[in-house]
Amino acid sequence: MKVTKLKYQKKDPSRVNLYIDDEFFCGISLNTLAKENLYESMDIGLEDLDRIVLNELKERFLTRATEYLLKSPKSEFQIYRYLKNLAYKKKDIWYKEDISLNWDMVFDEIVEKLKSYKYIDDENFARMFVQSRIKNRPRGKIVLVGELMSKGISKDIAQKVCEEEVVDEEQLLKDTFEKKYRGEKFDISNRKMVNFLLRKGFNWDLIRKFSNNDS
């Protein structure tokens, strides 16, 4: 096999498209170009290509995942989902479809690196999420646990964080009711009010206690 063309990318001149035997193989950085001492008409082996594409993809996926995390905190599950979607979108753009890669291993390595940088921390993510919900969109522990689990947070972490962050669920119920009904008095015989609180994750005992305290 030969390197038949090295073409600078129009949108990103810091990268070069690598062609092997007149077919696009993958995009590479100028650092890789220099490090691998690549040049047109150069003979190249499969092991060299595997190493080049693996290192390039790790670097590009790590950069994109980091940028994604900087916009707002994400759970480990959300990052895995993002990486898988990105791999699908960049097929035939960053790499050839028939390239042989263990994607699970690649993504595991990227996620572990992000965790070592403290960019991914499911417990910290869960705390920030719950704190934001309590402040802006209050709801009970049951719903909060469910929301966290839907974002890939383990049940154990979700329950632990909710127990620690939701110190006064009675006050949280009151805040939730007042945010919705502003100034109205709670009436336990009002099915609409009761169903609203149930949907927000408050159990019947808390609702009944709220009714007694509010009467």
192's enclosing H/E stretch is: helix 191-199
β-bridge mates for residue 29, sequence order: 15
Q: How confident is the model at residue 151 (pLDDT cuts 50, 70, 90)?
A: very high
pTM: 0.74
Q: How confident is the model at residue 188 (pLDDT cuts 50, 70, 90)?
A: confident
Region 176-202 average pLDDT? 88
How confident is the model at residue 100, as a pLDDT? 73
Residue-wise burial string across 127-142, b where 16 or more C-beta atoms lie within 10 A, e elsewhere? bebbeebbeeebbbbe
Q: How confident is the model at residue 25 (pLDDT cuts 50, 70, 90)?
A: confident
- pLDDT tens track for 75-125: 999 999 999 999 999 888 887 777 777 899 999 999 999 999 999 999 999
How confident is the model at residue 214, as a pLDDT? 61
* Angstrom distances, CA of residue 199 to CA of 61, 107, 152, 177: 39, 37, 21, 12
pLDDT: which is higher, 124 or 49: 124
Domain residues of the chain, as ranges?
3-116, 122-214
Region 43-70 average pLDDT? 90
Handedness of CA 31, 33, 36, 37 (dihedral sign): negative
CATH 1.10.10.10 is right for the domain spanning 3-116? yes
Q: How confident is the model at residue 211 (pLDDT cuts 50, 70, 90)?
A: confident
